[in-house]
Structure 1
Amino acid sequence: MPDDDPRLTDPDPAPIVADTKDWTWVLERPCPECGFVAADVDPAAIGSTVRSLAPRWRAALERPDARVRPEPATWSVVEYAAHVRDVNRIFATRLHAMLATADPVFANWDQDATARADRYDLQEPAAVAAELAVAAAAMADDFDAVRPDQLDRTGRRSNGSRFTVRTLGQYYLHDVVHHLRDIGA
């Protein structure tokens, strides 16, 4: 697709409807959209699972239409990938806090505001692929380093949702898997 395609250079793309759902329910029951079952996730396998999924993100970002939204109010592949890159970074920060501090409260993260402010829609697929690979590898390494005696350490979101290291990993992994489904990868 040519770089002068208006779908790639829109200075103000259609807004994405903010996702206001509290997705923590995925820790209690299977996700009907992607089939993910958090209870089946072995925390010791999170690192290897993340590493196995990373090539699918890279391949999706190599598609010629990776920057094109399938519908005006649906993220493109590059927007989803930029989000997942940032999910890796945010969850790494949260994991580190849980391992270093007793029951930390996580800073609020508005994913929709970040997508707008950082212009996910204008980011280069190759750059996002490289950054996502680095962030996913770091997160995988972080989970590989978690000891069994650390799995029950706790942390809280600013809205009060409570996590253990185990459930934080399960919740995080759902995000990565679910968005692969969103982009058909």
Structure 2
Amino acid sequence: MTNDAAGGAPEIEPDTKDWTWVLDARCPECGFAAHDVDPRGIGATVRDLTPRWVSALARHDVRVRPEPAVWSTLEYGAHVRDVLRIFDGRLALMLEQDDPPFENWDQDATALADRYDLQDPALVADELVDAADAIAARFDAVRDDQWERPGRRSNGSVFTVRTLGQYFLHDVVHHLHDVHA
């Protein structure tokens, strides 16, 4: 763990795990089981989870890291806002193109470059709500014949619209578990 160039919060060790395993097994940390997710309910589930994020981002200790190398609720909230945006873009690509490649996204580099730790929690909450509404509407609009359309990550992981949604939803749920919300 090192301090960043601006002398702020210590950097978090980059997460190098390939989390696609959650598509095949229950997450032992948060209990999420992707195979139990009906993809037609992803939009509604995102809408149901959003108020929990807004509430968490309103906490008085939103900027406090539980441990030096663990993100604060604010940092997790900014990350989830960006996850909502990134996956909305990926979903749009999958619905518009045949087997599109996804641009690489380094979540840890983004957290540092965008200074998640210094962002305004109320603004992050508002942006998270907007991003959640956008992706929820896009998932609601997926037609039955589109759920198996493919797309692929830069590391070669292949998703369908269905599995992308299940994988994405784990991220939103798992981080609520991380912030105890």
TM score, norm. by length of structure 1: 0.94
> Unaligned 5+ residue runs, structure 2?
1-5
Map of 2:107 onto structure 1 = 111
Letter in 2 for 1:84: V
Name the CA distance, whole Å, in 1 between partners of 2:8 and 2:74. 16
Q: How many residues align?
A: 176
Map of 2:159 onto structure 1 = 163
User: What SS class does the counterpart of residue 104 from structure 2 fall into?
Assistant: coil
Matched, 1:23 2:37: no
Map of 2:3 onto structure 1 = none
Runs ≥4 residues deviating over 3 A: none
Letter in 2 for 1:141: A
1:70 shift after superposition: 1.1
Map of 1:172 onto structure 2 = 168
User: What SS class does the counterpart of residue 19 from structure 1 fall into?
Assistant: coil
Matched, 1:80 2:40: no
Matched, 1:89 2:85: yes
User: What SS class does the counterpart of residue 155 from structure 1 fall into?
Assistant: strand
Matched, 1:135 2:131: yes
Matched, 1:33 2:29: yes
Q: CA RMSD, aligned part only?
A: 0.8
Name the CA distance, whole Å, in 1 between partners of 2:171 and 2:66. 20
Name the CA distance, whole Å, in 2 between partners of 1:15 and 1:87. 19
Name the % identity. Answer: 68
Map of 1:59 onto structure 2 = 55
> Unaligned 5+ residue runs, structure 1?
1-9
Matched, 1:183 2:175: no
What whole-Å deviation, never above 9, does each CA across 1:2-56 have from its counterpart, x for those lacking one? xxxxxxxx84211101100000000011101000000000011000000000000
